[in-house]
Amino acid sequence: MENFNNSIVLPENLPAVEKKTFTRLEKKYLQVILARIVIFFLIFSGAFIVYILFSNELPPRIFLVIAGVVIFLFYAYTFLINIIGFRRKGYLVRENDISYQTGIITYRVTTVPFNRIQHVEVNQGVLAKLLKLATIKIFTAGGNASDLSVPGLPVDIANNLKSFLAEKISEHE
Amino acid sequence: MNNVDLSKPTRQSVKGLLIIFIQSIRQGIRMFWALIAVVVLQKNILDNKYLIGIVLLIILALLIVHTILYYLNFYFYVEGGEFILKKGYLHKKILTIPIERIQSVNTKQNLLQQFLDVLTLEIDTAGTVAKELKIHALEKQYADRLNELLSKGKTENFSKDSEETEEFSKKNEQQVMALSPSDLFKIGISQNHIRAGLIIIAFGMQIFNQIQDLFREKADEYSGEFVNFLSGSSLVLIIFLIIFFLLVSILFSLFRTMFKYFDFKLLKSEQALRVQSGLINKRNVLMPYNKIQELNWETGPIKQIFGIYSLVFKQAVSGQNRRNQLVDAPGCLENHLELLKTDLFGEEILNKSPRIFSDKYYLRRLWLIYGWLPSLALTPFFYAEWIFWVAAPVWLILTAIYAILILRKRYFRINNNQVRISKGAIVHKWKQMELYKIQSVKFRQTIFQKRRALASLQLTNAAGSMTIPYINELVAKKIYDYLLFHAETSEKSWM
């Protein structure tokens, strides 16, 4: 491979990260996502209502209606996008790297080679704990930009994955 | 060659007592400045001179005891390939750094340290402990010896098959470039004055706000007068003010450059680069080649006249923002740049690879975001003020030009070892890295991009990331797979 332009055609034999080969997240995880949105919505609209109740001078009614509609539409949109987009979320573990994909409007996929992983962590939020789900976090030396986390894994799979990765990391040291 | 024994636990220089003492005072003031301010402002406390004297004496005694204890309990040595630092008397701390993990060794000297002939040594690792690895009063000999050892350690670690591990000494260092005062003058003039001007204005605003808080009522009068004065005065005055600000900011950047980069030298040895500079605060950074993740360089319209580039060596970062610690050369000529690139990346072959530009659709998106969206968002004002009818088209034209400038510079070259990206609108910036230093790769595609078979890539190394926006989807995928293949099969140490 003298020149990459040649190799643009050449690496046909390089393994490609294919969208379809990804493992989807546990269906239960959608509940966590939606619950989070609901909680956020309640806090936000609560603040909005408190503001209306306690402010001396109300802005014109039309303004309030528009604000309410905008907030409602925003949440309807977030809800829908998350439900539709959930099918897209998934991870892929290959022989030498791990990938995570997400996003229906903006599709993103990140891959971290095993030999670049610094350490691995398994986290469990309160909501996830109720549903026996866990998030695996993978840290590299590149700071936040290159860290990768896979949410919505069953606890045992997350732990297995963690020990698998830990083994892979020690191989490369 | 000095005969300092590194393996023997060593304390700081005795002169360090003074420096520790001054630092503790500084720290104390920083911590308790609010309290001190209250005490000073409350005049009736100050009246009791006897009490004040006793309190001051106690504080002084405590500080002296602290200084001595701190000094006695602070020592460091090298053992089994690790640099070990012990400190603290109440709360003891031991810091251990494997020598091969050390990213760079920096020394700094402020005026007092120059006078006492000691220096601050900072050891940089990619980890978070690095911040604590500072020795504030080290004798120069010890620092030199440590530098020597570190460079030697590198040689042994990373060139196993090399002919002979050469002793590192300053003698076989070669000077790559040095900046004379006249060079610095040129560099100072060609700095980004608009940015400097903004800093000054922001700084001025801050002071103004603080003054306003203090003397609210009077300030209102004055600022009222000021506004009257401004609105009553002619255009000439405004132009005069702009010129004044420009002059101030030129002087400001000139002095800043002069002080920071005074006597700037970039030296190279077989395994490392060394940078030294500074008038009041002297700094000296040793940086092994293989710890450099990325080379950034840029030139602007004024710099281009002088043929000056400024460059930054990017190393692994440790979580927190450490912009101040970046190693940079404020200005160098093209041949220096070429020389450095050859040292870091080998012979220049990237230029043989074609430039791959971002798609024209990128321009449309930029124009939409910077031009149309703000203009459309302001449409309600169109009813209120006629000036918006003029401002909006002007803004659209300006942003269109800006977007065109961006697109013209937005390209990258890649071969089977390296990638270089180019970007910028008015200032032209380049970033170059070796492919095996990749930490992770990200592929991004919006549904709008998908319709046009475009995608963006983000390549991350241990020092940061570079983006390649809006390129052909297939090319992006190929590069994605190729980079992973490269990182996964590479056996080279990337840090």
- The pLDDT tens digits for A8-51 are 445 566 777 777 788 888 888 999 999 988 998 888 888 888 88
Question: Looking at the domain assignment, is residue A50 inside a domain?
Answer: yes
Question: Which residue's entry shows tokens 């990258």?
Answer: B412
pTM above 0.90, yes or no: no
Question: Looking at the domain assignment, is residue B230 inside a domain?
Answer: yes
What is the dihedral angle through the alpha carbons of B477, B483, B487, B491, rounded to the nearest 10 degrees?
130
Residues of A in contact with B494 (CB under 8 A): 116
Question: Cα–Cα distance between A153 and A165 in angstroms, integer?
Answer: 15
Under DSSP, the state recorded for B130 is G
Helix or strand holding residue B458 (H, E):
strand B454-461
The amino acid that residue B225 corresponds to is: E
Nearest CA in chain A to B459: A146
Q: Are residues B400 and B420 in the same domain?
A: no
Residues of B in contact with A141 (CB under 8 A): 126, 316, 439, 462, 495
Domain housing A39:
29-85
Q: Are residues B72 and B204 in the same domain?
A: no
Question: Cα–Cα distance between B178 and B185 in angstroms, integer?
Answer: 14
Q: Are residues A113 and A160 in the same domain?
A: yes
Question: Looking at the domain assignment, is residue A95 inside a domain?
Answer: yes
Helix, strand or coil, per DSSP, at residue A143: coil
Of the residues A85, A107, A128, the one at which a domain ends: A85
Per-residue confidence band for B231, with pLDDT thresholds at 50, 70 and 90: low
For the domain that residue A129 is a member of, what is the CATH number?
A: 2.30.29.210
Residues of A in contact with B460 (CB under 8 A): 140, 142, 145-146
Tokens of A124: 């469990």
Residue B441 has pLDDT above 80, yes or no: yes
Per-residue confidence band for B50, with pLDDT thresholds at 50, 70 and 90: confident
Question: Looking at the domain assignment, is residue A12 inside a domain?
Answer: no
Q: Are residues A78 and A94 in the same domain?
A: no
Helix, strand or coil, per DSSP, at residue B342: helix
Question: Looking at the domain assignment, is residue A9 inside a domain?
Answer: no
- Hey, is the C-beta of B353 within 8 angstroms of any chain A C-beta? yes
Among B353, B460, B472, most A C-beta atoms within 10 A, so best to mutate, is B460
What ipTM goes with this model? 0.85
Question: Cα–Cα distance between B358 and B237 in angstroms, integer?
Answer: 44
Q: Are residues B69 and B155 in the same domain?
A: yes
Question: Looking at the domain assignment, is residue A120 inside a domain?
Answer: yes
Question: Looking at the domain assignment, is residue B182 inside a domain?
Answer: no
Helix, strand, coil share of chain A (percent; to 5): 55, 25, 20
How many other C-beta atoms lie within 10 A of the C-beta of residue B27? 11
Domain housing B375:
360-407
Residues of A in contact with B450 (CB under 8 A): 107
Of the residues A40, A70, A85, the one at which a domain ends: A85
The residues that bridge with A153 in the sheet, in sequence order, are A134
Q: Tell me the mean pLDDT in the region A168-172.
A: 80
The answer to whether B309 and B332 have CB atoms below 8 angstroms apart is yes
Q: Given A7, A96, A97, which is nearest B482 (Cβ)?
A: A7
Tokens of B362: 């990128």
Question: Cα–Cα distance between B199 and B489 in angstroms, integer?
Answer: 46
User: In degrees rounded to 5, what are phi and psi of residue B276?
Assistant: -135, 145
Would the CB atoms of A113 and B477 count as touching at under 8 Å?
A: no
Would the CB atoms of B485 and A5 count as touching at under 8 Å?
A: no
More confident residue, B300 or B453: B453
Number of domains present in the structure of chain B: 4
Tokens of B19: 């420096």
Tokens of B474: 């297939």
Residues of A in contact with B290 (CB under 8 A): none
Convert the pLDDT of each residue in B305-358 to its tens digit: 888 888 888 877 654 445 555 677 778 888 888 888 888 888 888 888 888 999
Number of domains present in the structure of chain A: 2
Q: Given A4, A14, A148, which is nearest B414 (Cβ)?
A: A4
Q: Are residues B121 and B35 in the same domain?
A: yes
Nearest CA in chain B to A7: B416
Indicate the angle between helix axes B16-41 and B49-72, nearest 10 degrees.
150
